Structure formats: structure tokens, C-alpha cells
Amino acid sequence: MKKTFFWWFLGIFILYGVIIAWYLFIGANTELPSQYKGTAADPTTFMTNEQLLLSSEFSRIKHLIFFLSIPLEWGIYLVVLFFGLTVKFRDIAKGTMKISVGRTAIFVFLLSGISAILSFPLDYISYKVSQAYHISTQSFHSWMRDQVIGFWLGFLILFLVVSVIYFFMRKNEKRWWFYTWLVSIPFIIFMMYIQPVVIDPLYNDFYELKDKELEEEILTLADRANIPAERVFEVDMSKKTNAMNAYVTGIGSNLRIVLWDTTLNKLEDDEVLFIMAHEMGHYVMHHLYLNVLASIVLTFFGLWFGSMVLRWFVKKFGKVFHIKGVSDIASLPALLLIFSLLSFLVSPIANAISRYHEHAADQYAITMTEDADAAIGAFQQLTVTGLSEVRPPWIVKVFRYGHPTMLERIHFLETYKE
């Protein structure tokens, strides 16, 4: 059974990879429609031939890595189930710890460890590709440090979540999902509150914006938008990447306006102001809170549907995989597989909503700044620096893009200008 599963999965994975690669590199139509040629959205008007070639290569390779990483994650959970690792992890945890919390910690650590090991090659390839195309400037030591921080942070969060889920499972195998959802509400809000001041600084150094004149202009924009900010933060992302970004995040006293130093180094001040006005638009239109509300709603339906699928899975395959019941910690890989599948299926809808919000923020920003040239220049520079595609393949837009394509964004701004 193990060998049969392994060869079937490997064959399907390779076939899937070949089909996706063919689509991305050959089959997908990314040619710019004739009505956009010669406009500000035409990459030939602001990118060199070399940049166009590198953009096409880099984007397709990164898309391929993304679409390979999804079934790889599912495959890891299936390997843990089919090869009996979930039972071995449960037995090791039982033999090591007497209390249930300790056993959960051991099990989650072993599962997280095997996932990290099996995912590492593709993560490393992604890192090396970004380096080869001069997007990443991060040393291997720094990259590994982030990987280690990410592992322990992910382990801690997963341990807390799993502890709550299986505590309620042991209390009530049919209603555990509802009690878990109730507990998740303050947890989601808490994570949004602490992320800017606790989690983000684990990866990068934050400090007050050095350019005080620009900071004053940004704070003036914030004041016009009724955003209670007293300072603007700069983060030293140039140690890791050439890409650019900015954001407004957090709630209450933990609200932060943040600029990557790469954005400051590569954009003119008026272009930076448009980018910041865009980010402020998210805050003004309550997108941060809408995202929290959406997370709460999706968590409700995800837990509810996931509980039904898990109950069916254990009833159907419990004996095959030696899972004693829904509340058996050995069912965790199956539960994570179910959640991962649900997340993937919902992602096109989530991305579509996100693109709508991003377009609304673009509209807000151009209304506030009334500088279409600066806005267009900012998006063109973002395209060049990140080696982005102006018109990505359709399937990439659906599953990867939480923003409108650069073609759509620049065309909107050019239309506004006219």
C-alpha cells in the first residue's frame, strides 16, 4: 500500500508539474491586447528588452514554484498518514509526556519538523531563484535565520490552535468546531493587534523615518484621512530584497504606518505619497476590519465543514490509518489537509474581494493626491523593480493575485488622467 501510494502520488505530481509548466511557459496568453500598446501600461514603454525577458522568466518560475508547493503540502500530510508516521508521532508523544498538553506539543513539533524538512528543497529553490534574478539580496545565513524564526513561530501558533481544538474535541466530538470558533474570534483580533509590534520586529528592524520632511508630508496626508498616527516607520528591507512595499497595519495604539527603505530609495517623494495614500485608503475604508470580519466568518464555515469531513474521514479510513477517533491527535494531519484544501478552494473568492479592495484604495489615493503621473510612475517602477508581469496568465491572477494586474491599475490611472 505504501509503495503503491508513493508511486501514484509521484506520477500524478510529475504529470501535474509538466502540465502547469507547459501552461505557464507556452500555453498561457500574456500578450498585451492591441488597445493597450503604446500606452503607459505597455511594458515596452518603460522596460528595456533585458528587463522584459527577465520579468517573463522570473515571473513564470515563481508561479511554477507556487503551484508546485500547494500539492506538495498536501502530499506531506498524505505521506505522514500513509506511512504510519502519524501513529509513530502519537506513540512517541505518549511515551515522552504524561499530560495531554505535553503530548500535543511533542506531536505538533514532530509534524512541523517533518513538514519543514520536506518543504525545504522547494523553499531553497525559491530563495535561489530570487537571488539569481537580483530580487533577493539576503545572505543564506540571514535567510536561514528567518526560516528558523518562521518555524518556531509557526510551531507555537499551531500548538496553541491544536491544543484548543483537541481540548474541545475531547469534550464534544460533534460541537468542537463551534467552541473553537468562539475562541478563535479574540485570537484573530489579538494577532492583528500584536503583529506590528511583536511579530514583524522578529524579522526586521523598525525605526522612525529618517527623512523628516517626507514624514511630515505623510503625516499631513494621514491627518487629512483622520488617521491617528504620530510617526512613520522605516524598515531596513534592503538587506533582504530589492522589491518595494509599504503598509498601514494594526489597530488602536498599535497602528503603524510603515515604509520599506527600498521604496524610499527607488521612488520619488510624490510617488511615495501616492503609495502611502493608497495604504491609508485601506484604513479609511475599514478594509483592515473587514478582513478581520471575513476571517471570522470564513473560520466559522471552515471549521464547520472541516469537522464534517474529518468525521467522515475517520469513520471511513480510521482503521486503515490506525486513528482511534476524531479526538485522537493522530487525526491532525488529516485535519490540516482538509483545511489546506478548503483554503485553496476559497482563495479565488478571497483574491477577488482583495482585488476589489485594492482598486478602491487606488481610487481613494488618486482622489487624494490628484497626481496621476506620480501614480503611474510608482506602478511602473514597482513593475521594473519586482520583475512583475503586466498581464499575468489567467490562472495566476485567479489563484495568486490579491491586487489588480499592473495593466489594470496603470490603465485606470491613465484613464483618470485623461
CA dihedral 174, 179, 184, 189 (to 10 degrees): 150
| Given 279, 328, 389, 408, the catalytic residue | 279
Counted domains in the chain: 1
| Residue 262 is assigned to a structural domain of this protein | no
Q: Which residue has the cell 522612525?
A: 208
- Catalytic site residue from 362, 371, 389, 408: 362
Assigned domain for 189 exists:
yes
Residue 171 in domain: yes
Q: Supply φ then ψ for residue 249, to 5 degrees.
A: -145, 170
pTM over 0.95: no
pLDDT of 91 > 70? The answer is: yes
Specify if 271 maps to a domain.
Answer: no
pLDDT for 351: 95
Quote the pLDDT of residue 312.
Answer: 95
Is 274 within 8 Å of 375 (Cβ atoms)?
yes
Q: How many residues are there in the chain?
A: 418
Taking residues 322-340, what's their average pLDDT?
Answer: 94
To the query of whether residue 216 is one of the catalytic residues in this protein, the response is: no
The model's confidence at residue 252, banded by pLDDT at 50, 70 and 90, is low
Within a domain: residue 234?
A: no
In a domain, 266, yes or no: no
Kindly write down the DSSP assignment for every residue of 152-165, as one continuous string: HHHHHHHHHHHHHH
In a domain, 55, yes or no: yes
Does position 249 have pLDDT exceeding 90, yes or no? no
Q: Please say whether the dihedral angle defined by the alpha carbons of residues 312, 178, 290 and 163, taken in this order, is positive or negative.
A: negative
Q: From residue 28, how far is each of 19, 407, 418 by CA, in Å?
A: 11, 16, 32
Task: Specify if 17 maps to a domain.
Answer: yes
Cα Rg of the chain, angstroms: 23
Give binding residues for Zn(2+) as ranges. Answer: 278, 282, 358
User: Would residue 279 show up in a list of annotated catalytic residues for this protein?
Assistant: yes
Q: What is the pLDDT of residue 226?
A: 86
- CA atoms within 13 Å, Cβ hemisphere of 231: 9
pLDDT at 133 over 70: yes
- Residue ranges of the annotated binding site are 278, 282, 358
Q: Which domain holds residue 116?
A: 2-202+287-417
The predicted structure's pLDDT at residue 209: 86
Query: Rounded CA gap, 229 and 226, in Å?
Result: 9
pLDDT in tens, 344-403: 999 999 999 999 999 999 999 999 999 999 999 999 999 999 999 999 999 999 999 999
